[in-house]
Structure 1
């Protein structure tokens, strides 16, 4: 017996490529597996195309030599990521992955109420969670908290500034002094 999966448009997280440096090809292949909407900027377009990735949306302030058909071009009027996320929200997308090496993780908090965003940067996966977040992890796993607003953790041992490891196999929890905070994990 076989199973067939039907993927509706915009069901899979969109992929925003803000940088391709130091992004493992295995991770990139996983993110592209279900043919998400791909957005990049003029600075990264050439390398993205060289990787064989079909670009759906290009954000640029300069004329671009588009070797691909059917690329929607948005003008670069503010920051690339603000334009990309606003476009996805207006389109009705519920989630996006951002590949980058130099994004302020607090950008994720600004959009938390409108779209679920995961930042994949410098060997970490950073995402927004609600205060009271719990997750099961094995003992000794690294967890990074990108906020000075952490008021309580359980199941974590602090190893550095905003750096923790799980104390044991099982659940850890985090409470923030605001409704949301940022958690990072190694990828």
Structure 2
């Protein structure tokens, strides 16, 4: 790899794998391009190892650590990150904040629970993968992106208003449960005075 492609540690989004249900290696592989820090929960360790992915930290209870101590040698230089009350997500995010990571892809998290993550958005850029979709937050009131024509989910507390501007057209969408919109190919601008999440299909359904 040439020197100008070198990515400084902690600069690339970390990968936090909570649940692999609905995902295969081919879905995760593109996220490994820049050798991110990889954290995996104890339940998913053996699946992720079978994919040939190099794990940096296993988030695990004391019991799991004792029973699987051999993993430290087999997967060297992997380390255990202790967890209490099985709050794997919180433990992983706190570690990433403490180690000055700026962003993380969270694999296998229920998008219905993303509002509980919003307190972390001032510390980390979060992208949530809930098969077959990927959700990212809009926290600064406005977001602009070019889409190739897509079906998107707008996810926010019920009653939130989001303005959607496409070329020559503007509409106000009031969010209800599972609000999906179709956008044409081109640049789309989203605006709201509240934090909201945009879901994109990243896998075939």
TM-score tier (shorter): 0.7 to 0.9
Residue in 2 that maps onto 1:58:
58
Pairs within 5 Å for 1:107-118: 107-118=116-127
**Once the two structures are superposed, what CA deviation does each residue of 1:135-165 show, in whole Å capped at 9, x if it has no partner?**
23244x1121111253132236869842111
Unaligned residue ranges in structure 1 (runs of 5+): none
- Tell me the distance in 2 between the aligned counterparts of 1:70 and 1:101: 27
Residue in 1 that maps onto 2:186:
169
Pairs within 5 Å for 1:40-55: 40-55=40-55
Superposition RMSD in Å: 2.4
- Tell me the distance in 2 between the aligned counterparts of 1:4 and 1:124: 32
> Secondary structure of 1:44's partner?
helix
Residue in 1 that maps onto 2:91:
83
> Secondary structure of 2:16's partner?
strand
Question: Greater shift after overlay, 157-166 or 81-90?
Answer: 157-166
Residue in 1 that maps onto 2:168:
none
Pairs within 5 Å for 1:1-187: 4-61=4-61, 62-63=64-65, 64=68, 65-66=70-71, 67-78=74-85, 79-100=87-108, 102=110, 104-130=113-139, 131-139=141-149, 141-147=150-156, 148-155=158-165, 161-166=178-183, 169-176=186-193, 178=194, 180-187=195-202
**Once the two structures are superposed, what CA deviation does each residue of 1:70-109 show, in whole Å capped at 9, x if it has no partner?**
2221111141011001100000000000110535222431
Between Structure 1 and Structure 2, the one with more helix by share is: 2
Shift of 1:33: 1.3
**TM-score scaled to structure 1, two decimals?**
0.86
